[in-house]
Amino acid sequence: MKTILNDTLRRSRYLILGWGIGFGLLALYIILFYDSLAEQQVLLDQLIQAFPRELIAFFGNIEFFTTPEGYLTMELFSYLPIILGILAVGQGAAVISAAEENGTLDILLAHPLPRRSFFLGRFAGMALNLAGIVFLIWLGCVIALNWSSIPLTAIELGRPFLSLWAFLTAFAAFATFLSQLLPSQAGASLTAAFILVVSYILNSMANIDDRLADVVKFSPYTYFQGGDALRGLNLNWLLGLIGAIILFGGLALWRFQQRDLRIGGEGGWETLVSLLSLRKTKSIS
Amino acid sequence: MTHSQSPIFLQEVYKNYGKVRALQGVNLEVQPGEIFGFLGPNGSGKTTTIRCMLDLIRPASGTLRVLGLDPQKSPTEVRARCGYLPGELHLDESVSVADSLRLLNRLRSPQADWKIITAMAERLDLNLKLPIKSLSKGNKQKIGIVQALMHHPTLLLMDEPTSGLDPLIQQEVYQLLREAQQDGSTVFFSSHILSEVQEIAGRVAIIRRGKIIEIAETNALINRSFRRIRIAFKSPCEVDPIKSVPGVTVENSDGSSAITLRVEGEMDGLIKALAAYPVRDLEIVKPTLEEIFLAYYQNGNGEA
């Protein structure tokens, strides 16, 4: 497992650095910009009041935009879950299926390496990749706090990022599970991404339509705490997300241990297109 | 040694992919220390059989034992003692040859001595420092061969081992396989290149549409099969009586002074018929394995 984990982290180091440093710099810039905006509090409040309710709904509770919580919610935590979520479902669906579809899985699993160890190495690598990206974004924020009047400590700022990591990893685990059920990595990514986006839209719409309050209880996005976590982390929700990671990860592992490995080249976009167009594919060699 | 302790033992093994019946009751036993060729065209079930042996896929039914072990119950034990070369070798292209081999070596315990790896790479003219993405198919295949052999496996499972290799390297691979055999390994390799099976395999199985249609010693298979006979006569003759000998068909006739025949079964009838002719020269040509293989397919031997 350790060899596979190290290999996974080695191969994804540029991904972690690219996404982590990119968004970390953006987060740093956003926090440094806070003081300038706070000086324009009255004007900004007037501007926000003029926004359509439907637009405001997608940014959460931004009536408090000029407070640190409101500002970070709108400028950072409103879109990070959806953008990083798309990355996460791609990473999750790739845990096993990427190596399977590019054909490298055959040679690895022909070695005395239990499927369980391979899975856990890759799955832990994926979770650590996401943790690395989230950590770098948090680090950008913490560095920026030195030159900002935002009255938050590094630990307080870490709470929403912890929730963000759990949310992303839960969706990634769901995508991993789907990748073991569906015939292609692409199909698993698209399905998980679709659910992620629908969940995001549902939660946004629930901000303006109370009738959706009961529905969004079943939406994963509800359990992402975002800027609200700055005031205190809901541990039950965090543990719920971690439970989802374990559940979907466990189901994916179980399914992986049961099934045949696809031969290299099977299960890519062609398989998805083929299935959608109801064409038959043969898999014999 | 019981059957189930043979390096490879398959009894009534079935495997389906949906409605496609990939293996239809495969029966096969390979003896310790032999080089065994597994012949069949694309899609006949060669790769499926090998992948079942390593628990990469699971048969629907039947008995399968590798080195006396059930691959589904003891997959890591089986793989620890096997070396495997997949038919379509895919490697992580972001690393060098050396790093790729190091990774694969780290998955084994005990690990192979790095000196063995470098010596083998040298024999195959494989540069360990090159990035894999810059390699040709043949050079990638060399990596597959090195990783399959480097830990001196008890059983070598190779799916089309010389695919993409130039003739000189092919000969080196044959030599490596012979050396592995001399060291006590059993070699099981699939191929549709009959000349290589003929060159190194002591026994051969022919699989067609998921069924084994022939298992024989390679030489015996060639010997007991049809023969091609070229006959030159001293003077033009009437050859119709020869054509009517049972088991004889005319493949080529050069006027009436030379004739090429294909003879199946006993030669006795033909020899007696030829006694009446002024024969100047007679040449018996054994068929290549390729011709035998084609004959199986053309004649529909082994059909259900």
Hey, are the CB atoms on B88 and A111 less than 8 Å from each other?
no
What's the half-sphere exposure (Cβ side, CA atoms, 13 Å) at A166?
A: 27
| CA pair distance A234, A253, nearest whole angstrom | 29
Q: Are residues B261 and B210 in the same domain?
A: no
Structural domain includes residue B27: yes
Hey, are the CB atoms on A265 and B76 less than 8 Å from each other?
no
**Alpha-carbon Rg of chain B, whole angstroms?**
23
Q: Does B269 touch chain A (CB under 8 A)?
A: no
Q: How far is B75 from chain A (nearest CA, A)?
A: 7
Count how many pairs of residues, chain A against chain B, have C-beta atoms within 8 Å: 85
- Write out the residue range of the structural domain in which residue A189 sits: 2-263
Q: Are residues B15 and B140 in the same domain?
A: yes
ipTM rounded to 2 decimals? 0.80
Question: Tens digit of pLDDT for each residue in A125-145?
Answer: 999 999 999 999 999 999 998
Q: Are residues B38 and B92 in the same domain?
A: yes
Hey, are the CB atoms on A260 and B56 less than 8 Å from each other?
yes
Using an 8 Å Cβ cutoff, are B292 and B223 in contact? no
Structural domain includes residue B296: no
Contacts of A13 in chain B (CB under 8 A): none
Q: Does B48 touch chain A (CB under 8 A)?
A: yes
> How does pLDDT run along chain B (304 residues), one tens digit per residue?
555 678 999 999 999 888 888 899 999 999 999 999 998 888 889 999 999 999 999 999 999 999 999 999 999 999 999 999 998 889 988 899 999 999 999 999 888 899 999 999 999 999 999 999 999 999 999 999 999 999 999 999 999 888 888 889 999 999 999 999 999 999 999 987 777 788 899 999 988 889 998 888 888 777 767 778 888 888 887 878 888 888 888 887 776 688 888 887 778 888 888 888 888 898 887 776 667 777 766 665 544 3
Q: How far is B140 from chain A (nearest CA, A)?
A: 13
- Output the pLDDT for position A60: 61
List the B61-66 sheet strands across, edge first: B20-30, B8-17, B61-66
Q: Which of B23, B90, B141, B192 is the best substitution to test chain A (most A C-beta atoms within 10 A)? A: B90
Hey, are the CB atoms on A112 and B107 less than 8 Å from each other?
yes
Q: Does B104 touch chain A (CB under 8 A)?
A: yes
Q: Does A5 touch chain B (CB under 8 A)?
A: no
Q: Which of A4, A111, A122 is the best substitution to test chain B (most B C-beta atoms within 10 A)? A: A111
List the B155-159 sheet strands across, edge first: B82-85, B155-159, B186-191, B35-39, B203-208, B211-217
**Torsion angle in degrees (nearest 10) through CA of B59, B60, B63, B64:** 0
Q: Nearest Cα to B48, choosing from B34, B60, B30, B37?
A: B60
Structural domain includes residue B94: yes
Contacts of A255 in chain B (CB under 8 A): none
Q: Which two tokens stand for residue A125?
A: 């690598």
Contacts of B159 in chain A (CB under 8 A): none
Q: How far is B91 from chain A (nearest CA, A)?
A: 5
Q: How far is B217 from chain A (nearest CA, A)?
A: 25
Q: Does A13 touch chain B (CB under 8 A)?
A: no
Q: Are residues B82 and B33 in the same domain?
A: yes
The residue of chain B with its CA nearest to that of A110 is B79
Q: Are residues B199 and B276 in the same domain?
A: no
Structural domain includes residue B31: yes
Structural domain includes residue A67: yes
Using an 8 Å Cβ cutoff, are B38 and B189 in contact? yes
Q: Which of A103, A114, A284 is opposite residue B22, by nearest beta carbon? A: A284
Q: Are residues B171 and B143 in the same domain?
A: yes
Hey, are the CB atoms on A111 and B43 less than 8 Å from each other?
no
> How does pLDDT run along chain A (285 residues), one tens digit per residue?
788 999 999 889 999 999 999 999 999 999 888 877 777 777 777 777 777 766 666 666 656 667 788 888 888 888 899 999 999 999 999 999 999 998 899 999 999 999 999 999 999 999 999 999 999 999 999 999 888 888 889 999 999 999 999 999 999 999 999 999 988 899 999 999 999 999 988 888 887 777 877 888 888 888 888 888 888 888 999 999 999 999 999 999 999 998 888 876 565 555 556 656 654 444 443
Q: Are residues B93 and B237 in the same domain?
A: no
Q: Are residues B132 and B35 in the same domain?
A: yes
Q: Which two tokens stand for residue A137?
A: 């974004």
The residue of chain B with its CA nearest to that of A109 is B56
Q: Which two tokens stand for residue B295?
A: 């004959």
Structural domain includes residue A79: yes
| CA pair distance B196, B171, nearest whole angstrom | 9
Hey, are the CB atoms on B48 and A284 less than 8 Å from each other?
yes
In the three-class reduction of DSSP (H, G, I as helix; E, B as strand; rest coil), residue B187 is classed as strand
Question: Tens digit of pLDDT for each residue in A34-79?
Answer: 877 777 777 777 777 777 766 666 666 656 667 788 888 888 888 8
In the three-class reduction of DSSP (H, G, I as helix; E, B as strand; rest coil), residue B11 is classed as strand
Residue B92 corresponds to which amino acid?
D
| CA pair distance A185, A101, nearest whole angstrom | 8
Hey, are the CB atoms on A285 and B79 less than 8 Å from each other?
no
| CA pair distance B253, B236, nearest whole angstrom | 11
Q: Are residues B22 and B109 in the same domain?
A: yes
Domain count, chain B: 2
Structural domain includes residue A282: no
Hey, are the CB atoms on B147 and A7 less than 8 Å from each other?
no
Q: Are residues B146 and B257 in the same domain?
A: no
Q: Does B109 touch chain A (CB under 8 A)?
A: yes
Structural domain includes residue A228: yes
DSSP string, A217-228: GG-GGGG--GGG
- Output the pLDDT for position A96: 94
Structural domain includes residue A278: no
DSSP string, A108-176: HHTSS--HHHHHHHHHHHHHHHHHHHHHHHHHHHHHHHTTS-----HHHHHHHHHHHHHHHHHHHHHHH
- Output the pLDDT for position B297: 66
Hey, are the CB atoms on A284 and B45 less than 8 Å from each other?
yes
Stretch 104-143 of chain A: residues touching chain B, C-beta under 8 Å: 104, 106-115
CATH of the domain at B112: 3.40.50.300
- Tell me A213's DSSP state: T
Residue B257 burial (10 A CB sphere; 0-12, 13-18, 19+): middle
Q: Does B22 touch chain A (CB under 8 A)?
A: yes
- Write out the residue range of the structural domain in which residue B238 sits: 226-286
Domain count, chain A: 1
Structural domain includes residue B292: no
Four-residue CA torsion sign, A169, A174, A175, A177: positive
Q: Which of B20, B92, B95, B191 is the best substitution to test chain A (most A C-beta atoms within 10 A)? A: B92
Q: Does A54 touch chain B (CB under 8 A)?
A: no
Q: Are residues B15 and B102 in the same domain?
A: yes
Residues forming beta bridges with residue B82, ordered by sequence position: B155
Q: Are residues B211 and B271 in the same domain?
A: no
Structural domain includes residue A15: yes
Hey, are the CB atoms on A107 and B51 less than 8 Å from each other?
no
Hey, are the CB atoms on B76 and A112 less than 8 Å from each other?
yes
Stretch 243-282 of chain A: residues touching chain B, C-beta under 8 Å: 260-261, 263-265, 282
Residues 6+ apart with CB under 8 A from B85: B144, B145, B147, B148, B156, B157, B158, B159, B161
Contacts of B42 in chain A (CB under 8 A): 285
